[in-house]
Structure 1
Amino acid sequence: MKYFICVLIVIVSGCSGTYPTILPEKNDLKVATVNHKYQDIIEIKGGAVNESSVSVSIIPNDSGLAWNPEEIKYSFGGEDGVNKDYHRIIISGIPKKSGDYRVTVSGFTLGTMYSGKDFYKQYTINIK
């Protein structure tokens, strides 16, 4: 019986993992100004993500803002390259109109030692 309980605990603990955390925790990103450069960063922590597991939308579509993963330049063996880090989402651009813009980050972490987990977070950017 003790053996069965030990095996059950190992199986259950193997199926649980940390849930992804989306930062910043608050629901508002930095305030922006119309026709001025804007940049803020959203971080996804607590799991592996890649291009196919992360989705970002910015509403309205013609806002003047766009998102990109952080680009990390490297040099190896005499060759230069760029890695895209989907754990750090950069929102940048020049807002066209005042109002509240909505940024939605969603997706799932990839299963590694633990099974993958879904995540979803919505932010507001106040454009003045």
Structure 2
Amino acid sequence: MKNIIPFILLLISACGSTAPSFLPGGNDLPDGIVGQDYLTEVEITNAILFKENIGVDISPPEAGLKWKPKVTTLKRGEAERVEEDYHHIIISGKPKEAGEVLVHINGYSMGTTTPGSKINKVYVIKMKKN
């Protein structure tokens, strides 16, 4: 019985958390090198996200980077379905200039555990010359 009480407390505290969580933590994404392919992923947990309630702005726009959700193709027999997962934001491209690139993830979550929670996260990517 003593072992179950900490488990119940942990379960209750997990259900009570209302803020979306971001991985990686902090405000920095991995550095990039001008002219070389760049690829990283941001994972958003503790939120229900759809295309209509999340946006990603990369600035400067001419930095050479773009974003997209993680895409999974599901097959069942002859049928095929493509799913976009907005909990996994893929940032990729070929950086064009040295300097800082800002990735601003914004919107709001949906659902019963975090209805209307705002999403507002800014990451910095440092682009270096080779």
TM over 0.5: same fold? yes
Note if 1:30 corresponds to 2:30. yes
How many angstroms does 1:112 deviate by?
A: 2.8
Contact 1:22 1:42 in 2 (8 A): yes
Matches within 5 A, 1:33-44: 33-44=33-44
Aligned to 2:4: none
Query: What letter is aligned with 2:67?
Result: W
Give the 4+ runs in structure 1 shifted more than 2 A.
111-116
Note if 1:95 corresponds to 2:121. no
How many angstroms does 1:62 deviate by?
A: 0.8
Deviates more, 1:45-54 or 1:113-122: 113-122
TM-score (norm 1): 0.83
Note closer, same or farther for the CA distance 1:56–1:114 as it changes in structure 2 (3 Å cut). Answer: closer
Q: Secondary structure at the match of 1:35?
A: coil
Q: Where do 5+ consecutive residues of structure 2 fail to align?
A: 1-15
Query: For this pair of structures, how many residues does the alignment match?
Result: 113
How many angstroms does 1:37 deviate by?
A: 0.3
Q: Where do 5+ consecutive residues of structure 1 fail to align?
A: 1-15
Note if 1:67 corresponds to 2:61. no
Q: Secondary structure at the match of 1:52?
A: helix
Cα RMSD (Å): 1.4
Question: Which whole-Å deviations, capped at 9, do the CAs of 1:45-78 have from their partners, x for residues lacking one?
Answer: 0021000111100000011100000001110241
Aligned counterparts of 2:50 and 2:91: Cα–Cα separation in 1: 17
Bigger Rg, structure 1 or 2 = 1
Question: Which whole-Å deviations, capped at 9, do the CAs of 1:73-93 have from their partners, x for residues lacking one?
Answer: 110241112100000000000
Aligned counterparts of 1:36 and 1:114: Cα–Cα separation in 2: 39
Aligned to 1:124: 124
**Percent sequence identity over aligned pairs:** 35
Aligned counterparts of 1:92 and 1:83: Cα–Cα separation in 2: 19
Contact 2:18 2:113 in 1 (8 A): no
